[in-house]
Structure 1
Amino acid sequence: MGFSPKSYCSLLFVMVLLPALCHSQDAYVSSRATFYGSPDSLGTPTGACGYGDYGRTVNDGSVSGVSRLYKNGTGCGACYQVRCKIPQLCIEDGVGVVVTDYGEGDKTDFVLSTRAFSRLARPNAALELFAYGVVDVEFRGIPCKYPGYNLMVKVHEHSRFPEYLAVVLLYQAGKNYITAVEVWQEDYQQWRGMRKSYGAVWDMANPPAGALNFRVQVSGGARPKWVQLSSVIPSEWKAGAVYDTAIQLY
């Protein structure tokens, strides 16, 4: 079976284009990074994503505030590989960070926790790196990995049973973004959308009674998809409680 000239041209186009696409997906972007101080070198529990203490300790405290990558909160929970461009002071691989806050510096994309910033440095070079204050870096998006953790739904502390519910999703693996959250309204037999309150926090007044079924819209692949989270939150939910979805969003 032979190929027509048109088929050869199409195959050649794919062979040339595919490596270029793979390279572009893995390419690093040049930027700048600085750091913020905290007593324990971890993140802050009052970050703009609304994660609370999770935002302080997730990823062993290697977290970051971001500016343009914040994306009105949609970028919360995204993971990036960040490496600085001072070879004599910085390790080659850099550090993997989780976005837990909004932060602006001197033309920076990243405001790293003290622990994350120190992990950019070679052994015994952290103090010298901190003296720069702001450093040139390059970064790329990477899949988040949380071995041993499913996606969790936390009932935000500002929730008031039963008239007001706010939730935030934790330990979201992969490279996807959550762009919508809905709750099943049994008496009307329809999905009811939650409001994007701020950061990664979704809320609604007068939520349905009983155990709550959620679905989330996930983007990041070829097209958005809906993933259902069945009976995640019990009928008598409590503010501050965290519930296991038993699934993960890869």
Structure 2
Amino acid sequence: MELKHQLGLLCVMLLLPALSSATNYNTDYCPWNPYKNSRASYYGTRDGYGTSSGACGYGEYGRTVNDGKVAAVSGLWKAGSGCGACYQVICKVPKLCKANGVTVVATDYGEGDRTDFIMSPRAFEDLGVSPDASKELKNYGTLDIAYKRVPCNYFPRNIAIKVQQSSSNPGYFAMAFLNVAGSYDITSVELWEDSRKQWSPLRRSYGAVFDYANPPRGQLLLRFQVIGCDGTYLKKPKPVPADWKPNMTYDTGLQLN
């Protein structure tokens, strides 16, 4: 009887990690959350779009995604896992601010005077009800705002893997995920090493960029974990082809809703 009891306890202990990982979730990402109060400012660029040198490591994608309506964040950075998150931002100046505000994508890190968002010019200007109102808002410099996390929408585009310019086949592999829809953060990425018959973690190098030194030759099998309002999921994209190259983007065949 005692042995059966011990075996039963062992089974429960083995099952608990699997159950907890399957039911883990973060209510901060839920669309029914209330707005939070903060402040927002903007930075300057030549054409009003974002910057290709943002700390998330998105390159040109970080400049033009969401029609250039992007933002640098600090408190929402979350050690880089906040890269790619979408937020609805509404300013509070009567008669000047649009009721529904603007949706921005976090593509950079930036700190301001008690601000949660430092926005691209296109994003900041889209807060206004008219072009004249937008000019007036820019004269304020910094605005009181309300914001909340909202799902990103990239349909019909799939999630893509962007191989970073710093990569070198086969000695060094660095990548970032693009077009991550929904309200999910990518928390970890792993690569299958067939010679060792195991999944090995990639390092979060900076921002949205994960890297791996001396990856196996041939196609690369990856899997990644996302966390959102409805739970934590493990996703397996299509393999990265064996002849992968720096600056190339590869379709994963996956979408998140």
Query: When the two structures are superposed, what TM-score results if normalisation uses the length of structure 2?
Result: 0.86
* One-letter amino acid matched to 1:47: G
Gaps of 5+ in 2: 1-27
Q: Please tell me whether residue 171 in structure 1 is matched to residue 176 in structure 2.
A: no
Find the partner of 2:152 among 144, 150, 170. 144
* One-letter amino acid matched to 1:100: T
Equivalenced residues, count: 228
The structure with higher relative contact order (CA 8 Å, sep 6+) is: 2
Deviations 1:166-204 (A, max 9, x none): 000000000011000001111211111100000000001
Find the partner of 1:241 among 244, 248, 251. 248
Find the residue that maps to 1:229 and give its secondary structure: coil
Deviations 1:79-132 (A, max 9, x none): 000000112111100000000000111100000000000000111211111000
* One-letter amino acid matched to 2:63: R
Q: Please tell me whether residue 76 in structure 1 is matched to residue 77 in structure 2.
A: no
Find the residue that maps to 2:173 and give its secondary structure: strand
| Distance in 1 of aligned mates of 2:198 and 2:231 | 23
Q: Is the 8 A contact 2:162 2:249 kept in 1?
A: yes
Q: Please tell me whether residue 61 in structure 1 is matched to residue 72 in structure 2.
A: no
Following TM superposition, by how much is the alpha carbon of 1:221 offset from its aligned partner in structure 2, in angstroms?
3.6
Gaps of 5+ in 1: 1-20
Following TM superposition, by how much is the alpha carbon of 1:222 offset from its aligned partner in structure 2, in angstroms?
4.5
Partner of 1:16: none
* One-letter amino acid matched to 1:50: G
Deviations 1:56-95 (A, max 9, x none): 0000000000010011101000000000011211110000
Q: Please tell me whether residue 109 in structure 1 is matched to residue 140 in structure 2.
A: no
Say if 1:229 and 1:61 are closer, same or farther in 2 by CA, change over 3 A: same
| Distance in 2 of aligned mates of 1:41 and 1:117 | 10
Over the aligned positions, Cα root-mean-square deviation in angstroms equals: 1.4
Give the ranges of 4+ consecutive aligned residues of structure 1 lying more than 4 Å apart after TM superposition: none
Partner of 2:166: 158
Partner of 2:45: 38
Task: Using the aligned pairs only, state the percent identity.
Answer: 49
| Distance in 2 of aligned mates of 1:65 and 1:183 | 30
Partner of 1:204: 212
